[in-house]
Amino acid sequence: MTSFDDILVKVREYRPDDDLSLLQKAYEFAAAQHRGQKRSSGDPYLSHPLAVAAILAEMKLDPKSVCVGLLHDIVEDTGTPLKAVEEKFGPEVAHIVDGVTKMSKIQFTSAEERQAENFRKMMLAIVDDIRVILVKLADRLHNMRTLQHLPPDKQERIARETMEIYGPIAHRLGMGKMRGELEDLSFSFLEPSIYGDLKDQVEKKRKVNEAFLSEVQSMVTEKMKESEIPVQLQGRIKRIFSIYQKMKRQRITLDQVYDLLAVRIITDSIRNCYGALGIIHNAWRPVPGRIKDYIAMPRPNLYQSLHTSVISSTGQAFEVQIRTQEMHRIAEMGIAAHWKYKEGRTVDQDEDSRINWLRQLVEWQQDMRDPGEFLSTLKIDLYPEEVYTFTPKGKVVILPREATPVDFAYAIHTDVGNQCVQSKVNGRIVPLRYKLRNGDIVEILTQSGHMPSRDWLSWVKTSKARNKIRHWLNVQQRERAIDVGKRLLEKEARNFSVNLKKTIDEIDIGPVAAEYGCHSVDDLYAGMGIGKISARHLLAKLIPDKVFDEVTAVKDSKLTSVVKKVFGISSSDSIEVKGVDGLLVYRARCCNPIRGEEIVGYITRGKGIAVHAKNCPNVQNLIYDVERKIDVEWRGTAEEAYTVRLAIHGEDRQGLLAEVTSVISDTRSNIRNIEARTYPDQNATIDVTLDISDKRHLEKLIGSLKKIDNVFEVERILRPSSAISERPSG
């Protein structure tokens, strides 16, 4: 068992001048909190945090991280409140402990590859302090080293999670040693017999191989010296899991793994790279077809090196990699891209540059003398466009930034979205438009029969949610349109004393619907409901020998009165829809267009045609929906007044209001309401609502108002887009 003193000695080595009393305190606290607890191995529980702290000390992490190593399980496993950690060790240590605790609570459950990738990204995304990941990796490494004490089903689950999540994360961060050990340990539990066989074969020759590698290295050193090529050398034996992958991928035996042993030569120039290659080939026989010039032809991820496999005089094959310092640097830094490349994925430049940066950071902190402060002030945000959230069962749901619980609900299932009434985030009730954050555990409460609200459209972030809400609203409005259409037809039938029920019973209405270009009778009703088809016209078609005109009508048939009753909207007689008669037309309340203004019509569902001013902001939102657009124009010269609201901005002075009212009455505009406000900076705004007969009238009035002394702006106030309910649904 690691002793605390071992850890102190290690940290002291790279932090000779630091005050390590916090470490001592953490050790004592952890010992007290874990007292009496045992691991599955039977060892005192404390042995685990001590081992984790030792791994972190080996990684030369700052003393606070080592502290967290000692404390990382006390919140989760001893019920010590995080507050107590914060009081004793400060907010920074508490924050990292909290991050590690949160990470441990997440269990990777799905075996699906895509989900694994999401999960890895999420792990990196939810931490805002890189040390959380480093502590978690050390924790996992020690758990893997002692995994044999757990029951087989747990071994399997933890080993798989390590293989799919933590190994690749370590690799991404450039922690090759960590990754290698994690993967080999996982492999030994997941495929024990394959692992055992391979390991036996490798171990049998380890001593020989190590001796061989150092002999090669001294030979290389000597030969390079003779040719005056400056070099640094590295030697390695390939790891078990890595060997296994290669054997499997290339369907070869261990003897055929030419890079089981490798020597890396790092020199100063490209010229010397080729020079070194020549020297190597002179000394050892190259394996034909195994020379790769990635200097002349870099890999897609910009990796550059010369690779060659050679055979020693004893018949042992080994790989030699030759590169310059610069290439070495790029190869090391670009390892994230390398990882993706190896796994056959496309490289996302943006992501890789972020990962590279993170990786570089890990390296810096290992080299830096005092990285503590530097790391602590650092906030990482690897995936700024995405937010990683969970279902209560731990499934990862990736959403765009600022997504809401409603987006989450639709991502789960359309029905969940349609019926969601409330949401809980991390156990707390939040508004449906709450902006989700990384790591949020989201629970959606549904109620059958609950319906989506149109307002949701203005703040949902995913196109899935938007489309599903739209679709739902369309279906809903179509039902209303059918209903209105039926009522209109019934009313018109009554007006002309037609027994509608009898008529419909006698005539097959299907073909008639087809004549109107409708696919079904419901379409026909819907067409009437939205005002595209006239009920009177339809009746005339159904009963050709009857005359339908004002004379034969029982009473004046105001087509729209029934609609008015249903929806409480009045129609406008002063606007005409080009080429069509008898439509229900009304001016949109958002922009309230006045005669003479350029206007445009939109077919709404169930409410007829909304007429907007061409410059209405809502129209800008509607332009993509071209099928619903319809040409409209002002009819005749009917005397009609339009209500317009103006804001007159000016500098306050005596008599300003009086002058404004007199200008308005000079242009024969009827004032409905007027209100003046003054501001501390001597400015004033006069709000006036008045009746205007047309666009020219309005322009003339605005012109006159602007001529008043001290008035600097006259603004027409359109209702803000709260008039959403009048927008046709798209």
Residues lying near Mn ion in the complex (CB under 5 A): 73, 139
Q: What is the DSSP letter of 614?
A: T
Instruction: Report the residue number, 74 or 648, with the smaller CB distance to Mn ion.
Output: 74
Write down the least CB distance from residue 618 to Mn ion, Å: 57
Instruction: State the Cα angle at 288 between 287 and 291, rounded to 5°.
Output: 80
From 6, 18, 77, 197, the catalytic residue: 77
Q: Min. distance of Cβ 48 from Mn ion in angstroms?
A: 6
Nearer to Mn ion, 103 or 263 (CB): 103
- Nearest CB to Mn ion, comparing residues 134 and 714: 134
CA distance 98 to 91: 10
CB of 98 to Mn ion, least distance (A): 14
CA-to-CA distance for 583 and 201, rounded, in angstroms?
87
- 77 classed as catalytic: yes
Numbers of helices and strands, H then E, in the chain: 30, 21
- Among the options 6, 18, 43, 76, which is catalytic? 76
381 is an active site residue? no
Which of 146/438 has CB closer to Mn ion? 146
Q: Which residue in 41, 46, 116, 50 sits closest to 78, CA to CA?
A: 46
Burial (CB count within 10 angstroms: exposed 0-12, middle 13-18, buried 19+), residue 623: exposed
Nearer to Mn ion, 144 or 613 (CB): 144
DSSP class per residue in 18-64: S--HHHHHHHHHHHHHTTT-B-TTSSBTTHHHHHHHHHHHHTT--HH
Give the start-end residues of each E strand in 300-366. Answer: 306-311, 317-324
C-alpha 402/C-alpha 381 separation (Å) is 15
| Residues sharing a CB contact under 8 Å with residue 676, sequence separation 6 or more, in sequence order | 657, 684, 685, 686, 687
- Closest CB to Mn ion: residue number: 139
**Closest distance between Mn ion and the C-beta of residue 143, in Å?**
6
Between 139 and 259, CB nearer to Mn ion? 139
> Considering beta carbons, is residue 158 or 220 the nearer one to Mn ion?
158
DSSP state of 474: H
* Residue 92: CB atoms within 10 Å: 18
Q: Could you give the CA distance from residue 165 to residue 122 in angstroms, rounded to a whole number? A: 10
Extract the tokens encoding 38. 């045992």
Report, in this order, helix, strand and coil percent for the chain, each rounded to 5: 50, 15, 35
CB of 74 to Mn ion, least distance (A): 10
Q: Which is nearer to Mn ion, 35 or 329 (CB)?
A: 35
Question: Alpha-carbon distance 618 to 600, whole Å?
Answer: 11
Distance CA 406, CA 284 (A): 66
User: What are the structure tokens assigned to 147, written together?
Assistant: 């995994």
Determine whether 34 is exposed, middle or buried from the number of CB atoms within 10 Å of its CB (0-12, 13-18, 19+): buried
Residue placing its CB nearer to Mn ion in the complex, 73 or 726: 73
Q: What are phi and psi of 322, to 5 degrees?
A: -125, 130
Residue 76 CB, nearest approach to Mn ion (Å): 8
Give least dist CB 95 to Mn ion, A: 17
3-state secondary structure 147-212: HHHCCHHHHHHHHHHHHHHHHHHHHHCCCHHHHHHHHHHHHHHHCHHHHHHHHHHHHHCHHHHHHH
Which DSSP letter does residue 628 get?
Answer: G
User: Which residues participate in catalysis according to the annotation?
Assistant: 76-77
